[in-house]
Structure 1
Amino acid sequence: MKLYRAFATVGGLTLASRVLGFLRDIAFAWGFGAGMVADAFAVAFRFPNLFRRLFGEGAFNSAFIPLFAKELEGNGRDAARSFAEEALAGLAAVLVALTIVAIVAMPWLMYLLAPGFSATPEKFDLAVLMTQITFPYLLCMSLVALFSGVLNTFGKFVESSAVSIVLNGTLLAGILVSYWLGYLDSPEGGIVQAIAVFVAGVLQLWLLIDGLRRNNFSLKLRRPRMTPGMRRLVTLGIPGVIAGGVTQLNIMIGTIIASMQPGAVSQLFYADRLYELPLAIVGIAVGVVLLPDVARQLRAGNETGAVESQNRALEFAMLLTVPAAVALAVVPGEIVQVLFERGAFTASDTANTSAVLAVFALGLPAFVLIKVLSPAYFAREDTKTPMRYAVISLTANTLGSIALFFWFRSLGWLPHLGIAVATAIGGWLNAALLWVTLIKRGHFMLDRPMILSIAKIAFASAAMGVALFVAAEFLADWFGRDRSFLTHMGGLASLIAAGFAVYALAVLATGALRIGQLRKALRRG
């Protein structure tokens, strides 16, 4: 079955990207900690990164891919190219205008993006300048998204999955440049990082243009026109972007609220980076691969095949996501300490970031479920239903974040922990609404293998959680702050090895995954 192989391709490249991203985050935490520059960069990067996630990781393509696939299969390659060029022209025109307006208006927009920064003029001005530098990145990434959708429809996933490797490599190079120039933990260092974001966008765009060329499907920029195809894309695209990007919109809202607490923005940023590793590897891989697959199945009238693909995608996702969520919830302190606590990143930052990470982890399976369930709507050109549920979830998250932030602060608790709680609840609400509606419409149902797998995965993950808790107690001395970095790394490696061993044994013992089944799946296609 090619589906599993495609998951492995996208997930593997995403894993490589996230490993490089962790090296970047470790270096950034060492150089900038969770202070003023780190807070300003988190905001400056968050806004264009929101568009990267909305467009580059599937939300835009939720509307574009089904329409492009319909043109390709119904009217041929030339008609599909014409539609893609129309979409390219319209998208480029809108985003160029948006970029110019946003850069000019950024001193006023910052009061919306980070209102709490206004209490510290130096931080506010730095965030404005850095966001103006990074903003053109969203133009590059939006075009990258369109080109990725074309390649994904043809079953080509390498280039679109490698773009984050370029981003993380370029930002890591920016940190090294700051170190060489003596700019670490200084406003100048933050500006270097913002420039690196812009450069990364240009390099990513070049990578996708080259990918199209090598697959003999070049696109030309033409004059924007509101054709019937573009009207349909806009009709589906706006709800699709809102629905597919609800997770990132939740995080953006959290950043706005957290700006009222010093250090909170960057601590949320670091926790977000950690829990997004499994979300990226599993959720994004499934979302990117599953939508074209389900769309093709439905175009062929194979409803049973579409449901089968969803069940296998869900099985694959939960097999990897549930244990990841358990691990992040059980040993967050050890993970954050080993990865980030050095240089400007203090023990207090570790405690706060690990608390946020543990709560974020509780919502991780929900965010992956959203990635698995949404393609069933998008492939049927229904983007309005997921959008309605996204708005409900977003509203609940916003109100919950505001209420819990101030309530927790009044109790003397970590205020931005309330943001994490609201984000997790919002994710589960969205996933539940998508799930129930699909079942009511008869578009999805769990098959018997999936039902059995859920129980087995839950048991194996619980066993792993107990093992991690016991192992963490046993290895507590290894994480003492008087011990060396190598000792800390040895302790974390031992925890990972123990957790992996227990989970693997439990999965094999219960039959949640069989070696023969895995080999067969990888050989198919």
Structure 2
Amino acid sequence: MSLVKKFATVASGTLMSRALGFGREMLMAAALGTGPVADAFNAAFQFPNTFRRLFAEGAFNAAFVPLFAKEIETHGTEGAKRFSEEVFGVLFTALLALTIIMELSMPLIVRYLVAPGFAGTPGKFDTTVTLATIMFPYLICMSLGAMMAGMLNSLRRYFAAAVAPVFLNIILIGVLAYAWYKGSDALTVGYGLSWGVLAAGLVQLAIVWVAVRHAGISIGFRRPKMTPAVKRLLILALPAAITGGITQINQLIGTAIASAQNSAVSSLAYADRIYQLPLGVVGVAVAIVLLPELSRALKSGNLIEAANLQNRSVEFTLFLTLPAAAALWVMSEPIVRLVYERGAFAANGSPP
């Protein structure tokens, strides 16, 4: 399979997810607008999402995929299975401990870290705490799912990992459609969306777990142990967490600052969805395919192939993202009006 075909395979699943994500955001904007429940939900969802992007899909994947690919090349499927089980045991235990601590500390975390501006509005603050408490276990599902997606990508089985995120949007669209049918109030919609996020995490984890089994690797649970391979993984993940964490930390800080103004958190979330389309379809697809392919080329000492992979990836990315960036710059207002302006979302910021 050529490099462009691999990009297209991943991009097709990502495009499906992003398109459904637009549908989800359109329905959410129509149901909640930029009101207090929309602010509470987006602030609460931002917290587990930050951890997911920072550790699971960012630093962890950047370190895990090359090591897993190396195990396949060096020790075959059995070596890769042993390595993945060692990592799984440590990762699951660490995530479980983190989730328990965060759940117990959620009121303090929301007050001082996620949305300090909500503290002066008791109803909004309490809603954010409750929604965040419901959604935070989503981190466990997505972190373990990211590990298995990295395994699939290393095995050159891209589609299942690319299509799994689609189910988050499918489930949330279903929640919003049911809420519209029942005529639910905004708070009920917020609770439904939060439980939907948790359910979607379980579904996504199940999809990649089944795909990994079909790929010939059945992961069993091992007692957590800091083996040399796991230590190597942590050593490689640390610099990736530091460098990759800047963007995620900035987003968390932006949410905290925006919480001081009504409607600002949800407005930022809706705007973020617009630029995530080209970023997800092009940038993420290229990164997912490039990492294992580049790891194999470097492992085999083929520097010419590695340079060619990198150059073709940059060319492909620029070819698609530069026109997208120009379009978003020139047509931002028509795009926002077309996508969002209906129902509870109006040009003046209040329901029509």
Q: What does residue range 68-107 of structure 1 map to in structure 2 within 5 Å? A: 68-107=68-107
Equivalent in the alignment of 1:425: none
The reply to whether residue 339 of structure 1 matches residue 342 of structure 2 is no
Between the aligned partners of 1:298 and 1:55, the Cα distance in structure 2 is 24
Q: In 1, are the aligned partners of 2:58 and 2:240 still within 8 Å (CA)?
A: no
Between the aligned partners of 2:287 and 2:14, the Cα distance in structure 1 is 13
Partner SS, residue 218 of structure 1: coil
Tell me how far 1:183 sits from its aligned partner.
2.0
Between the aligned partners of 1:95 and 1:83, the Cα distance in structure 2 is 18
Between the aligned partners of 1:238 and 1:269, the Cα distance in structure 2 is 28
Between the aligned partners of 2:123 and 2:208, the Cα distance in structure 1 is 38
Tell me how far 1:2 sits from its aligned partner.
2.1
Q: What does residue range 4-15 of structure 1 map to in structure 2 within 5 Å? A: 4-15=4-15
Between the aligned partners of 1:236 and 1:25, the Cα distance in structure 2 is 36
Partner SS, residue 66 of structure 2: helix
Equivalent in the alignment of 1:201: 201
Gaps of 5+ in 2: none
Between the aligned partners of 1:255 and 1:58, the Cα distance in structure 2 is 20
Structure whose CA Rg is larger: 1
Larger CA deviation: 212-221 vs 25-34: 212-221
The reply to whether residue 30 of structure 1 matches residue 24 of structure 2 is no
Equivalent in the alignment of 1:113: 114
Equivalent in the alignment of 1:367: none
The C-alpha deviation readout for 1:333-362, integer Å capped at 9, x for no partner, is: 100001101111110349xxxxxxxxxxxx
Tell me how far 1:56 sits from its aligned partner.
5.3
1:64 maps to amino acid: F
Equivalent in the alignment of 1:395: none
Partner SS, residue 345 of structure 1: coil
Equivalent in the alignment of 1:161: 162
Equivalent in the alignment of 1:172: 173
Instruction: Report percent identity of matched pairs.
Output: 47
Change (3 A) 1:260 1:40: same
The reply to whether residue 63 of structure 1 matches residue 63 of structure 2 is yes
Partner SS, residue 262 of structure 2: coil
Structure of greater relative contact order (alpha carbons < 8 Å, 6+ residues apart): 2
Q: What does residue range 376-391 of structure 1 map to in structure 2 within 5 Å? A: none
Between the aligned partners of 2:241 and 2:293, the Cα distance in structure 1 is 20
Q: In 2, are the aligned partners of 1:175 and 1:193 still within 8 Å (CA)?
A: yes
Q: In 2, are the aligned partners of 1:144 and 1:204 still within 8 Å (CA)?
A: yes
Q: In 1, are the aligned partners of 2:59 and 2:238 still within 8 Å (CA)?
A: no
Partner SS, residue 343 of structure 1: coil
Q: In 1, are the aligned partners of 2:60 and 2:237 still within 8 Å (CA)?
A: yes
Change (3 A) 1:169 1:14: same
Tell me how far 1:249 sits from its aligned partner.
2.8
Q: In 2, are the aligned partners of 1:57 and 1:284 still within 8 Å (CA)?
A: no
Tell me how far 1:261 sits from its aligned partner.
1.2
Between the aligned partners of 2:223 and 2:184, the Cα distance in structure 1 is 44
Tell me how far 1:58 sits from its aligned partner.
4.5
Partner SS, residue 117 of structure 2: helix
Q: What does residue range 175-186 of structure 1 map to in structure 2 within 5 Å? A: 175-184=176-185, 186=186
Change (3 A) 1:283 1:246: farther
Q: In 1, are the aligned partners of 2:68 and 2:84 still within 8 Å (CA)?
A: yes
TM-score (norm 1): 0.65
Gaps of 5+ in 1: 351-480, 482-525
Q: In 2, are the aligned partners of 1:144 and 1:208 still within 8 Å (CA)?
A: yes
TM-score (norm 2): 0.96
Tell me how far 1:67 sits from its aligned partner.
1.1
Equivalent in the alignment of 2:302: 302
